[in-house]
A and B are shown apart, each in its own frame.
Chain A
Amino acid sequence: MAITVKSPAASSAGSGRRSGGAAKRRYHGVPAGMTWVLPGFVMAVGVIYFCIGYTGYVSLLPWNWRPPKEEVVEGLGNFARAFSTPLFWECLKHTLIFFIAVYLVQTVMGIVFAAIMHSRVYCSVIFKILIFVPVVVAPAIMSPVHRRVFAVDGPLNWILAHLGFLHADPTGKNPAWNGWFQWVLDHIGLSSVSPNWIQPSTALWVVIGIQIWSSIGMAFILFFAAMGQIDPEVLEAARIDGAGNIRVLVSVIIPQLKPTIVSLAVLNAITALKLFDYPYLVTTGGPANASQFLGTYIYSEMFEKGGRFGYAASMSMLLLVLAIGVSIIMTVMSRERKPEEVKV
């Protein structure tokens, strides 16, 4: 099916060329189609390009410009301002860490879950539902729950206490690591990590953990579909040659998942750049900007610091350029790799 797993670059570009050629051959008799395309075109291109243009214009206005005020074009000062603000680079750094961490865990766990669910485990439907529900439920609805999970007296610390990592005090308000675990943390350079999760040294990792929770299901579904298309005879042949389960997974299955692994990278990069809901609602970008991302930073400049729309618009434009740049680079990269993948 076209809507399951298929490389976007290949399908869209290839089909475009195909139908273009076909149309030229039989131009007579084919009815004109502009009126069919126009409504969607106006809706998408009209609104989106207008917004890009308008935001681009606002980014040239004074940094503290607000909607009703007089408009005087000032120039590129806002961009210089963004580049010279450490927090802007800090946000990019968080975005990069977030992308790498989420992408790695999501890919590995997605493949593991997909492989398990393709084997004959009991109750696989229930597992599948539990893994996929976090993908479906709105981040904004789940965020108070996550705040609760990571609270000092929340379930996470409860579990850690029962596993022996935590020395929980009776009130539950001031948990501390047990001696041995503190020793381990000290010796692997993580002594600043404390069971008070929403604090500068761990807040970013809380956001990352939540995103992993809510996106493994997506990777799982994609890998599950991709594995379903692997020819069973290939697996059979590998088994006859004496390959064990792990060997089959690493040497036969994973190479065939490459297109999915690449498109997950694009998806994750875009998600990381656009990220807003979780950091805004769970940690409000803090404490001390420790989990600030571009989305939350831009939002706070607009609505929480008295309306710095000009400055916010310049960062929005930079974000747009980054998002388009990343998706073009990744699409081109995946297209270049195409020929070897087919051979596998």
Chain B
Amino acid sequence: MFELRGRRKRLLLTGISVLLVIPFIVPLYTMVYTSFQGRGIDNYKAALQLPGFWTYFRNSLLIAVATIAICYFLTMAASFGFSKLRIRSKEVYFWLMMGALTMPEVVLLTPMLMMAQKTGIGGTLWSVIIPLAAMQIPFTTLLTRSYVDGIPDSLFEAARIDGAGTWRQFWSILVPLAKPMGMAIIVLVLINSWNAYLLPLVLLPGEGQQVVSQLPMNFKARYTDDQPKVLAGATLAALPEIIAYVCLQKQFERGMAAGAIK
């Protein structure tokens, strides 16, 4: 946006950017630097050798995969229905769904605790997957519906004339054409479910069911004030996300940008 003539000006603006970016580096640098203090790499070895270390990651992964699968398919199907199929008074259903758009998580806590106890899903990963998916479907449906509205109806008509059933139209037209939106949904739901803290904290208190976001705090409880070990744990917990982001920058930025606009 700024017009820069010549090398000197470009270098000057780069210098300003470096200064502005310093506050962003400080916490990241602190995390890595502190985690090597004292016993160096042994802090990491201690963290990795903690019994059940990998179950945090496994649980987070299972929750993320299940939530993504549920959100993806239900959103795609619902958007297809709302946008391209015949439903009597569909706007009523749509706005009922949009009524659930801005849900503070605390509203879910007591009911989910009761539900979990009564139905026997208490203490299983499902007790987190279900509210996580339910909270995100209204929003992903809002996004995807307006995207699918932009796909011409004539494509579906043509397919119908050629004898394609609804099922076929969904798989062969809608899913491929809505792929960019699908990626955005996957990233958005992945981040939201991987980073979720409050719901797992309340609904999965048991040892062996905990998720990555709880890892640093559990380290803190175990090592009291051994900062280097706690931050070694935090670094390990943050690493998968940072690597995933650096590898898939475009997708992450698009997904998060889509999620920012309600």
Contacts and interface: CB of A to CB of B under 8 A. Distances in A.
Contacts of A18: 149
Interface in B220-252: 220, 227, 230-231, 234, 237-238, 241-242, 244-246, 249, 252
B197 A67 contact: no
Interface residues of B, number: 119
Contact of A227 (B1, B108, B216): B1
Contacts, number: 357
B74 A39 contact: yes
Given A33-B86, A121-B17, A239-B3, A316 B104 contact: yes
A179 B77 CA distance: 66
A104 interface: no
Interface residues of A, number: 123
A45 B78 contact: no
Contacts of B191: 136
A133 B21 CA distance: 12
Contact of B77 (A36, A213, A263): A36
Given A139-B195, A218-B256, A15 B146 contact: yes
A22 interface: yes
Interface in A189-214: 213
Contacts of B108: 48, 51, 55
Contact of B231 (A2, A118, A123, A144): A144
B146 to A, nearest CB: 5
Contact of B197 (A3, A36, A55, A276): A276
Interface of A: 1-8, 11-12, 15-16, 18-20, 22-23, 26-27, 29-37, 39-41, 43-52, 54-55, 58, 67, 109, 112-116, 118-124, 127-146, 148-149, 154-156, 159, 213, 216, 218, 221-222, 225, 227, 235, 239, 245, 248-249, 253, 263-264, 266-267, 270, 273-274, 276-277, 281, 294-295, 298-299, 302-303, 309, 312-313, 316-317, 319-320, 323-324, 327
Given A137-B241, A312-B106, 8 more contacts: A37-B77, A44-B100, A48-B138, A54-B110, A141-B238, A159-B26, A222-B260, A295-B105
- For the complex of A and B, the 8 pairs showing the least CB-CB separation, nearest first, are A33-B85, A36-B81, A40-B78, A33-B81, A47-B134, A40-B74, A138-B195, A37-B81
